[in-house]
Chain A
Amino acid sequence: MRLDEQTRGDFAILARIVNGHPLVYLDSAASSQKPRSVVEAMTRYYERSHANVHRSIHTLGEEATELYEAARDRVQRFVGAAAREEIVFTRGTTDGIGIVAEAVGRTLRPGDEILVTELEHHSNLVPWQVAARDRGARVRAVPVIGDGVLDLAALDRLLGPRTRLVAVAHVSNVLGTILPVAEIVARARRVGALTLVDGAQAVPHMPVDMSALGCDFYVFSSHKMLGPTGIGVLYGRRSVLEALEPARGGSEMIKEVWIDRATWNDLPWRFEPGTPPIAEAVGLDAAIEYLEKLGMDRVREHTHALAVQAATQLAAIPGVRVFGPRQERGAVVAFSVEGLHPHDVAAALDTDGIAVRAGHHCAQPLMRWCGVVGTSRASFSVFNSPEEVALLAHAVGDLQRALG
């Protein structure tokens, strides 16, 4: 059975009629929909077990703590981390990058360099700009070349003794380019630089394995991988996290406090100040369980096939330009239609019940590289079908007429 046929009934929202048409949801790269098991797990938690975690000496508190920490164990297994201490819960990908940027940022010296790439999401760009500006360091970018791949020769030229950290996306949220992360990490390590990988567009669609990638930090969001909003994960290599001074203080990250000083709790809680997103951790746990049952290899195969189909069918339409590598790509396809603004494209598709993203996708430097203000973007999840991709292509082909 096809993956979409198997999963479609699990997503109640897909029964919606939008503007007189069955919803065709092609915006999972912005935020995916949630299967019933995720919603039910969170409801069950709120109706049976909710209390604050860690220091509540009563039955509900113990249940909540158990559920919260069980979610951590599942995340650890899911991404192939060596230890549960390496899994820090955050509010999302942006928050995870912020935690690292603040902590690493305060160790930067004037002249130090943070190396990013031209295709980064603003969230993997601006935190480094802020950190660098405060310390007299600077941000440099590895260029994008060809049909949207990284210039690895330039990477070698840009890496040097001043490079303190290399921050790269695993999968581009616009081009769909899958970056050779293990290779980049290995080269960064040779100059002694730390590495952070933005896995927001990778973890929902392909198996990821920290031991194989070898990076120091890896961040991703729950809400793009069938889980709830409000929680994300920061993987940090244990030895690196241990050496890192936390930048944010309060409650769970503390061991002992005096008026003028404090000592830090053990990992991973050292980087989790404040009451964490408990119900969201329960929901993320259920989302990963759901994905594990499907099998991430099958998920990758399915979403990749949809992306290749979309890229091929859209590129065949006169006046349509498809961005990014044609074959080796993640589950997003950005495109533009000659003479039409991406927002008008998205608004017109919405009248057919088709939800796509339009705009600069929080990647303005990459938009400049593409030579456009913005693009429209279709993205795919387990529940999308080849028929929906065909509907998209048909509607895009009909746009010039539709917009009069």
Chain B
Amino acid sequence: MSATVRPALYSDVIRERWRRPRFRGELADATASAEDVNPLCGDRVRMQLRLEDGQVRAARFTGDSCAICSASADVVAELVEGHPRSEATALQVRDILEILKTDVRPTRMRCVTLPLTVLGKALA
């Protein structure tokens, strides 16, 4: 088996975002935050935002989660930071999948959507 070359399990983007996240961390001056769990696996994602003048000035995430979920959270934070709150609210799953450059199996789709759900709660 060692001789076989595995097809990459996850896309380069997922692996890069998971190993070296850009938006993981705490936001000391957050004005909104939320967290939620994935009942399937117990994964937990927390998202912190600094909202000012209708803008998402900063976004960070923390949590215990798998590679897909971590990568998704990292993308979500990047997509909303520095953008109007209205754009953040309108963020869709397909926007994230487009950046992750991968087909996610139905059994793992909740890993992608959890950070988006948490964002929605933080913006609510």
Where the two chains meet, the residues of A that have a C-beta atom closer than 8 Å to any C-beta of B are: 21, 341-344, 347-348, 351-352, 358-360, 364, 367, 373-374, 391, 394-395, 398, 402-404
Contacts and interface: CB of A to CB of B under 8 A. Distances in A.
B43 interface: yes
Contact of B41 (A373, A391, A398, A402): A373
A360 B15 contact: no
B9 A343 contact: no
Contacts of B30: none
Contacts of A344: 9-10, 66-68
B3 to A, nearest CB: 11
Contact of B42 (A351, A359, A391): A359
B6 A402 contact: yes
B66 to A, nearest CB: 4
A101 to B, nearest CB: 21
B64 interface: yes
Nearest to A404: B15
- B-side interface size class: 20 to 34
Nearest to B65: A341
18 contacts: A341-B43, A341-B64, A341-B66, A342-B66, A343-B43, A343-B68, A343-B111, A348-B9, A351-B7, A359-B40, A360-B42, A373-B43, A374-B41, A374-B42, A398-B2, A403-B67, A404-B8, A404-B19
Nearest to A339: B19
Interface in B79-124: 108, 111
Contacts of A352: 1, 6
A348 B15 CA distance: 13
A181 to B, nearest CB: 28
A360 B41 contact: yes
A364 B38 CA distance: 13
B22 interface: no
Interface of B: 1-2, 6-10, 15, 19, 40-44, 64-68, 108, 111
A347 B9 contact: yes
A403 B65 contact: no
A118 B41 CA distance: 19
Contacts of A403: 9-10, 15, 67
A350 B36 CA distance: 27
A404 B14 CA distance: 11
B4 to A, nearest CB: 8
A270 B8 CA distance: 56
A358 B41 contact: yes
Contact of B44 (A342, A373, A395, A404): A373
Q: Which of B1, B10, B19 gathers the greatest number of chain A CB atoms within 10 Å?
A: B1
B72 to A, nearest CB: 13
A239 B8 CA distance: 60
A249 B12 CA distance: 57
A287 to B, nearest CB: 28
A325 B43 CA distance: 26
Contacts of A348: 9
B42 A341 contact: no
B44 to A, nearest CB: 7
Contacts of B9: 344, 347-348, 351, 402-403
Quick one: which of A351, A374, A391, A403 has the most chain B CB within 10 A?
A: A403
A395 B1 CA distance: 8
